[in-house]
Amino acid sequence: MIEIKKTPMDLIDDIYSLAYWMTGSEKASSELLNTTCLNADLKAPETEVLKTFRECYLDTYGQHADLDMHETTKESVSLIDSLKQWTADIKLSVLLSELTGLKHAQISDIIGKPVDTVRLWLFWGRKFFAHDNLMRASA
């Protein structure tokens, strides 16, 4: 199978699209694109650039999670952070598959989870996107 290498401009377009879908805001998308470009070598392999995008997204925006926890303990903050990263990774997995056309193994490499986990996330993530809109990011 012939693999088509994306140019840096193709990657910038993909990153902006991913950022817009993740944040829902043109301003936030531009900021996330700029942060990613500053932290990544756009001549690096596509998966490395997208790993940098993921890190920039999680560092800057995370994922909004409304959890009603009455006590703020170290454990509850850690749980909330884990859930934010989990939902962001599911959403990013779906977007990487649908917008950039990456294969499951490539997404697995970017997210840092096993291929079977990515397949499960893609199945449920697509359902969330299509039916419940539960994975909408806060900007």
Domain at 83, CATH number: 1.20.140
From residue 46, give the alpha-carbon distance in Å to each of 4, 89, 125: 11, 17, 22
Structural domain contains residue 2: no
Structural domain contains residue 37: yes
Distance from C-alpha of 130 to C-alpha of 127, rounded to nearest angstrom = 5
Structural domain contains residue 52: yes
Using CB atoms within 10 Å of the CB of residue 83, give its burial: 0 to 12 exposed, 13 to 18 middle, 19+ buried.
middle
Count the domains in the chain.
1
Tokens 């879908």 — which residue? Answer: 21
User: Which of 34-41's residues contact partners 24+ apart within 8 Å by CB, and which partners?
Assistant: 35/60, 37/12
Structural domain contains residue 51: yes
- The model scores a pTM over 0.75: no
Structural domain contains residue 73: yes
Distance from C-alpha of 91 to C-alpha of 63, rounded to nearest angstrom = 10
Q: Give me the tens of pLDDT residue by residue for the chain, a chain 139 residues long.
A: 455 677 777 888 999 999 998 888 899 999 999 999 999 987 888 889 999 999 999 888 765 444 444 455 556 557 677 777 788 889 899 999 988 889 999 999 999 999 999 999 999 888 887 765 544 544 4
Structural domain contains residue 123: yes
Structural domain contains residue 139: no
Structural domain contains residue 1: no
Distance from C-alpha of 104 to C-alpha of 122, rounded to nearest angstrom = 9
Domain extent, residue 23, equals: 8-132
